[in-house]
Amino acid sequence: MLEQSLALPNAEWPYFQILIRLVLSLALGLLIGLERERRKKEAGLRTFGFICLLGALGGSLGPAFALVILLLTGMLAVFLNVQTLRAGQGTELTTSAAMLVTAVAGILCGQGHTISPAAVMVIATALLAWKERLAGFSMGLTESELRSALLLAILAIVIYPALPVGAVGPWHLVEPRAAWVTVILIAGIGFVNYVLWKVYGTRGTELSGFLGGLVNSNFTVIELSSRIGQGAEALVPPTYRSILLATTAMIARNASLLLILAPITLLGSFAPFALMMATSLLLVVWSYYRRAPAEAAAVAEINLDLPFSLPQALKYGAVFLLLHIVGGVTQRQFGDVGFYFVSVVGGLMSSASAVAAAAALAAQGSLSPTVAGTGAVLASFTSIVFSLSFVLRTRSRGLIGRLAGAMACIALAGLAGVAASQAVQPWVAQWLPDLAELQAHGAASPKR
């Protein structure tokens, strides 16, 4: 009886299938073990390879054996820490956690998973390899920046699930969750690009302008042009390129919002956005290659606000809801012309919110994708003109003249794109119903 209870289960394993699982587990174990070996840790290449192989065998044998492998890996981690403490080297908590992650990934490989364990092990290896960079980044964070990140997480994880689903109000014009997703999306883009600006923004005026334009193009233009107002005429050429790059970043951000919130809307406005970005980049490249050899290489620092704050969230939310409601009402009462007027006015307040409102109306079916896309282009036009007004305050004829000509070229390129879109609209309209149906089906399907 005892021999029968201790007997291992017999199973016929498919040779190639189990071989692929074991090879994958060994490769993943060697991946993270290579990083530990490079740092001269006690548990290195062979140890992590064995752990992942054991996990794959345990996952293939069944849940009971998988739990045994996890227990054995935990005991091995305890033994490793005891050894390092006796040697006076402190604990190896990071390596111990990596060993447990490796065992779980091996178990997943043994159960037939491929993408999940591979993604986990790549992420774990990256966390180990980027130790110094992550530590330096975390130590460089200010308390205000950390609070901003926590606030963004609260808005996305705590408040969003508590909002009602579907349209509310007597006219069903407001969808709280859709509005909140837009707020989180715009703030998230600003937060990510704020991090990029903080890491790379002081390495050059042009790079600062581009990354600053992703966060807030108008504020970036104000900061850049203020240097010219202080008498730094030598900064005119790099400031010209920086403002153009900030404009390019604003256009790219607005196009990305359309792509994320209502991909079908970008179909009719792709030509204007693409031509405006291409024209702006060509002007930057032309100016760069025509720069004088003795051109000043001074760096204009851009003092952006915090990446995310509660007033900023309320501003985005209020502007989005206002444009969403007014845009829907004016479109019903005055047709497409009324919506275009709201888009132009909205571009003065926040082009990102105006574009997001147009995309939301198109996603709900209140606007046609072509009209919503054209409204997004008009909001971008308004933002460009509004940015140019800040440059006029510098009274620098060189900068004003060059930027006025450049902005005129960008606007003409956008108008040419709108005309091209209108020309191909009958052809695109044949495909829009099918694309809209696919988009609606994708939005209605349950998320897994």
Mean pLDDT of residues grouped by 10 in the chain (448 residues)?
Answer: 52 80 93 89 88 93 91 91 82 88 94 91 90 71 74 80 69 66 66 64 61 70 63 67 86 86 79 90 86 51 57 64 66 70 75 79 76 84 81 77 87 86 66 49 40
Residue whose tokens read 């019903």? 332
In contact, 202 and 140? CB cutoff 8 Å = no
How many whole angstroms separate alpha carbon 383 and alpha carbon 271? Answer: 18
Q: Where are the domains of the chain?
A: 11-136, 142-442
How many whole angstroms separate alpha carbon 237 and alpha carbon 38? Answer: 47
Q: Residue 235's pLDDT is what?
A: 64
Q: Residue 9's pLDDT is what?
A: 57
Q: Residue 182's pLDDT is what?
A: 64
Q: Residue 52's pLDDT is what?
A: 94
Bridge partners (DSSP) of residue 168 are: 174
What tens digit of pLDDT does each residue of 182-213 get? 667 666 666 765 666 666 554 555 666 777 67
In contact, 28 and 102? CB cutoff 8 Å = yes
Q: Residue 190's pLDDT is what?
A: 62
Q: Residue 398's pLDDT is what?
A: 77
Backbone phi, psi, residue 122, to 5°: -65, -45
CA nearest 121: which of 93, 100, 96, 92? 100
Q: Residue 71's pLDDT is what?
A: 94
Here the tokens at position 180 are: 């909140």
Q: Residue 400's pLDDT is what?
A: 82
How many whole angstroms separate alpha carbon 448 and alpha carbon 419? Answer: 41
**CA 84 → CA 6, 35, 87, distances in Å?**
36, 19, 5
In contact, 84 and 61? CB cutoff 8 Å = no
